[in-house]
Structure 1
Amino acid sequence: MSLTFTDLFCGAGGSSTGLVAAGYTLRLAANHSRVAVESHAANHPDAEHLCVDINHYDMRRLPRGCDVLWASPICQESSPAGGRKRGAKGQMALELEEFGPVENGTWERTRATAYDVIRATEIHRYAAVLCENVVEFAVDWELFDWWRTGMHHLGYRSQVVSVSSAHIGGPDNTHAPQWRDRIYIVFTRNGIPAPDLTPHPAAWCTECGEQVAAVQSWRNGRRIGKYKQQYDYRCPNSQCRHALVEPYVRPAAEAIDWSDPGTRIGDRRRPLAASTMARIRAGLAAYPAHRTVLTVNHSGHDGRAFPADSAPLPTRTIKIGDGLLVPAGGTWNQDATATTEPMRTRMANPKGYEALVTTPLIYEYRNHSTMEPVTRPLATVTAQGNHHALVIPYRNGNLPKPTGEPLHTVSTHDSAALVGPAPAVEDCWFRMLQPREQLLAQRFPADYIVHGTKGEQTMQAGNAVSCNVAQWIGERLAAAMDRTAAHAA
């Protein structure tokens, strides 16, 4: 008999999809957004759905007898991507024009508050309560400890897990190709074993010369934080003195539809914003023959670029965030980054902060030990450099060629040929990342149904819980619950 659960603030269904993949049965999903509930119901038709303001909902009406509650109460003000309201102008107006309007209720109020978790738990006394939130929820919210203690008073123990979606997965649970630092607060009722939620992503230790199960190494005694800011991963072996390692990650390229190169910049009906053009030029000057992704942030970053064979993004501050695929409007993250890197944290903002820029040159690259031809599926890559350099070719007036098509015959040498000088910006191809790509970056199934305008779909992707992390937590909780059942028998 599978465990049953209720999903409050369900959004489009990342948490529900992950728990269902872990073997759970969804009883009810609730959210205030009409379009999010429509999306959720289309993919989970056997569950009951509520479109209500959870703050004012009588929790006694929730399904009784559920084993687990999942709730993702995120205050937009806590998020590094929350920002302030701004009028649409320049590149932002162009994005809104492309992605379409967003329902006012959906845009202005993305989540209800954390207090509803306590209200629901007080009545239903779930065996476990699972919460997802941004790191700032714990470190910046003055009442976090009070809120957590409230659950302790109801008879629960708690643990806070800090992970990036890029590092979580397993044999039947593919990692998300996106950097997404989140905390997961897991409450288990007294008498139920706490699940083992210690992350051990696979990594290659160059010192030991072997693959290892990496361990989190916290800086300065911190236990809540972000990868490369408050913690790293190290080799578990003492012979290498627990060397720093980089867990394997999936490249952002796996979430991108490379058959759609976008529009040649010189042929655009409306010109790109001056700031966007400046960032594209900076990326081309640094890496003229690599596919790059440009991102934007709130203020004066220089928009430096990363080639397709580079390592994942360097350490980020909260201000800059975890950037990935593209700079085209918005005011958050303006780095150019490689498509081998996990996609940056998806934002709920429908303005589509990311766009794909490809250069009109042919560039082929093979590493002696780690590179596969681009005609084969991309394998999991490490966070170190020289991996999966993919480009869209463009020569002699031909349109960019998707990577799913064969390349011309290559030599047996493990080397690359770079043809031509850096292209003119006007000859590059540019487009905004589409909602389907953003959903894939959250590890939604490829056939997942999402309703609404492109802007609303983008927002649903940005608000979602990464499916792979929800599945990982669900599987480990189920294992703990099984131990309880076996002991009782």
Structure 2
Amino acid sequence: MSEIELVVDNFAGGGGASTGIEMAIGRSVDIAINHDPDAIAMHKVNHPTTRHYCEDVFDVNPKEATQGKPVALAWFSPDCKHFSKAKGGTPVSKKIRGLAWVAVRWAKAVKPRVIILENVEEFKSWGPLVKTEKGLYPDPAHKGETFEKFVSELESCGYVVEYKELRACDYGAPTTRKRFFLIARSDGQPIVWPEPTHGPKDTLEVLSKLKQPYHSAAECIDWSLPGNSIFNRKKPLAKNTMDRIARGLKKFVIDTPKPFVVRIGQTGFGGDRLSYSLDQPLTTITTKAEHCLVTPTIMVNNTGHTGSAVTDPLKTITTGGNQMLVQASWIKEDYSQSTGTAVEAPLGTVTAQSVHQGVMSAFLCKHYGGNYQGAGIDVRNPTDTITQVDHHALVEAFLIKYYGTDTGQSLEAPLHTIPTKDRFGLIRIENQDYQIVDITMRMLQPHELAKAQGLPEEYIIDRNPEGKRVSKAVQTARIGNMVVPQCAKALVQANLPELCENKNENRSA
């Protein structure tokens, strides 16, 4: 029997790449290296059989770490912040930008058969820096020169090098995260780029079952978690936040012929809500908690009740110069027996004891910077990139069936006289008018972000190997820094099929 080849994960982080590799080969990676104790702790609790080095990658001697054993795969995911366009016009660090050189060090020292490097798309622009009064900045006159030298160094070590950008949602993750991947081989075998396995649900390839439909952001959301009303807060939401919510409501609820809807929970309007999946992937998950979930809920009241009298001032949400007025009135009926149904499906049986049907429509509001002018994300689609500080918020709009004669008004027209029962914020769905009665918003939680990043349900993110609880901030940062496992899995299966053939044997060993 030939000697077992090692698999090494440099910049292992919380274990995203290692998890994807394990999905492919059926066992944990042999060696994981990362300087961050929090990252190593998350990796260790999920990959206990791996040998961990909590050190700077340049402080680990490849020959000593591998102990003379051959290396099948060395994975590298160097810090991407000082290449990413998300960093904006701030100075960069030469040391951090130079972390990728450790791949050349491993190539020269132990010559892995396959090297895979992951980074942001801008990694190809790696070049010299120029010093200014504010610090070091990339020199536009020499853009990409260091990257070309990096590739040449690998080639001089006997490697064939190719690189390409891949989107995680194309391989089964619920995020659109796009990343640069470089593959270098020294074993004479061809470099193989995996074919996408998923696509938009309305494409011919999906309809003909040649591909699977994208996973959605909705599948990652825990619908049992309530949001907080955007009205009557002790500290009002910022104008930019309200503007984003308004744009999202207009695009994904008011102007959408078939808004996304789910049932409200068994405890009724305004209470806990059942967990239902949405049908499209989230956008990229980052290392900060910046994702918020916004969900409009539609209440169907067959008794004709339109809510309580308007006793509080209307709350104005502006989009440009237009106004959309939404009254946060309360529903007086008991909705504890409400079962709900999707607007596309027939209503459930209506009985004397249960005459109400409840549904909820949701979208994701994105909190990037003050200049972000988008409407957010339809939860039937994948999420954007998940970052170290989450920027997705869930917005929920609660509505009640409206039986009045007023059909609403144009957002551009002067406001009508406000009656004792609010008639603004009307939405028409399936030829029926509904009225918004409340809007809630909350940030996505770490366990939701983990699902959006493609981590398996059983992945442990909230405690370390000693059982100590991990803060939400640390959880979010580790998740946002992770490689999406589905990309690592696809690349390993395509380029190291011989390791994957022994998958069942590896698991039983």
Q: Which amino acid aligns with 1:40?
A: H
- The aligned residue for residue 104 of structure 2 is 118
- Determine which of 227, 237, 243 is the counterpart of 1:262: 227
Deviations 1:277-299 (A, max 9, x none): 12112322344454699989xxx
CA 1:465–1:271 in 2, change beyond 3 Å: closer, same or farther?
same
Of 445-454 and 14-23, deviating more is 445-454
- The aligned residue for residue 48 of structure 2 is 45
Note if 1:420 corresponds to 2:442. no
- The aligned residue for residue 67 of structure 1 is 72
Q: Take 2:88 and 2:488, find their aligned partners in 1: how far apart are those partners?
A: 27
- 8 Å CA contact 1:177, 1:249 repeated in 2: yes
Q: Report the Cα offset of residue 250 of structure 1.
A: 1.3
Q: Take 1:480 and 1:149, find their aligned partners in 2: how far apart are those partners?
A: 28
- The aligned residue for residue 197 of structure 1 is 194
Instruction: Count the aligned residue pairs.
Output: 347
Q: Report the Cα offset of residue 197 of structure 1.
A: 3.2
Note if 1:135 corresponds to 2:121. yes
- The aligned residue for residue 448 of structure 2 is 437
Q: Report the Cα offset of residue 328 of structure 1.
A: 3.7
Structure 2 unaligned blocks of 5 or more: 128-143, 262-281, 284-289, 292-318, 321-341, 344-362, 402-420, 422-428, 464-469, 502-509
- Determine which of 4, 10, 13 is the counterpart of 2:12: 10
CA 1:261–1:332 in 2, change beyond 3 Å: closer, same or farther?
farther
CA 1:185–1:56 in 2, change beyond 3 Å: closer, same or farther?
same
Note if 1:346 corresponds to 2:386. yes
Name the SS of the counterpart of 1:360 in structure 2: strand
Note if 1:81 corresponds to 2:86. yes
Structure 1 unaligned blocks of 5 or more: 87-108, 169-174, 215-246, 303-307, 310-323, 364-395, 397-414, 484-489
Q: Take 2:253 and 2:42, find their aligned partners in 1: how far apart are those partners?
A: 41
- Determine which of 19, 22, 34 is the counterpart of 2:21: 19
CA 1:9–1:362 in 2, change beyond 3 Å: closer, same or farther?
farther
- Rg larger in structure: 2
Q: Report the Cα offset of residue 131 of structure 1.
A: 1.0
Deviations 1:25-56 (A, max 9, x none): 41111111110110000000011111112234
Q: Which amino acid aligns with 1:195?
A: V
Name the SS of the counterpart of 1:279 in structure 2: helix
Q: Take 2:54 and 2:205, find their aligned partners in 1: how far apart are those partners?
A: 54
Note if 1:326 corresponds to 2:365. yes
Q: Report the Cα offset of residue 332 of structure 1.
A: 7.3
Q: TM-score, normalised by structure 2?
A: 0.60
CA 1:19–1:208 in 2, change beyond 3 Å: closer, same or farther?
closer
Q: Take 2:97 and 2:432, find their aligned partners in 1: how far apart are those partners?
A: 49
- 8 Å CA contact 1:28, 1:49 repeated in 2: yes
Note if 1:355 corresponds to 2:393. yes
- The aligned residue for residue 214 of structure 2 is 249
Aligned pairs for 1:5-404 (under 5 A) are 5-23=7-25, 24-64=27-67, 65=69, 66-83=71-88, 113-139=99-125, 141=127, 142=144, 143-168=146-171, 175-199=172-196, 201=198, 211=208, 248-288=213-253, 290=259, 325-328=364-367, 330-331=369-370, 333-335=372-374, 336-348=376-388, 350=389, 352-361=390-399
Name the SS of the counterpart of 1:122 in structure 2: helix
- 8 Å CA contact 1:74, 1:112 repeated in 2: no
Q: Take 1:139 and 1:479, find their aligned partners in 2: how far apart are those partners?
A: 32
Q: Report the Cα offset of residue 3 of structure 1.
A: 5.2
Q: Take 1:467 and 1:39, find their aligned partners in 2: how far apart are those partners?
A: 15
Pairwise CA RMSD of aligned residues? 3.7
Name the SS of the counterpart of 1:431 in structure 2: strand
Q: Which amino acid aligns with 2:484?
A: S
Q: Report the Cα offset of residue 6 of structure 1.
A: 0.8
Q: Take 1:209 and 1:61, find their aligned partners in 2: how far apart are those partners?
A: 48
- The aligned residue for residue 489 of structure 2 is 471
Q: Which amino acid aligns with 1:442?
A: Q
Q: Which amino acid aligns with 2:183?
A: V
Of 448-457 and 57-66, deviating more is 57-66
- The aligned residue for residue 330 of structure 2 is none
- 8 Å CA contact 1:273, 1:329 repeated in 2: no
Of 456-465 and 5-14, deviating more is 456-465
Deviations 1:111-165 (A, max 9, x none): 8710011112211111111111111101454211111111111111122132110
Q: Report the Cα offset of residue 262 of structure 1.
A: 1.4
CA 1:334–1:140 in 2, change beyond 3 Å: closer, same or farther?
farther
Q: Take 1:115 and 1:342, find their aligned partners in 2: how far apart are those partners?
A: 33
CA 1:209–1:3 in 2, change beyond 3 Å: closer, same or farther?
closer
Q: TM-score, normalised by structure 1?
A: 0.63
- 8 Å CA contact 1:75, 1:113 repeated in 2: no
Query: Percent of pairs identical after alignment?
Result: 28
Note if 1:458 corresponds to 2:498. no
CA 1:84–1:460 in 2, change beyond 3 Å: closer, same or farther?
farther
CA 1:84–1:346 in 2, change beyond 3 Å: closer, same or farther?
farther
Q: Which amino acid aligns with 2:103?
A: V
Name the SS of the counterpart of 1:137 in structure 2: helix
Q: Which amino acid aligns with 2:177?
A: R
Q: Take 1:110 and 1:260, find their aligned partners in 2: how far apart are those partners?
A: 39
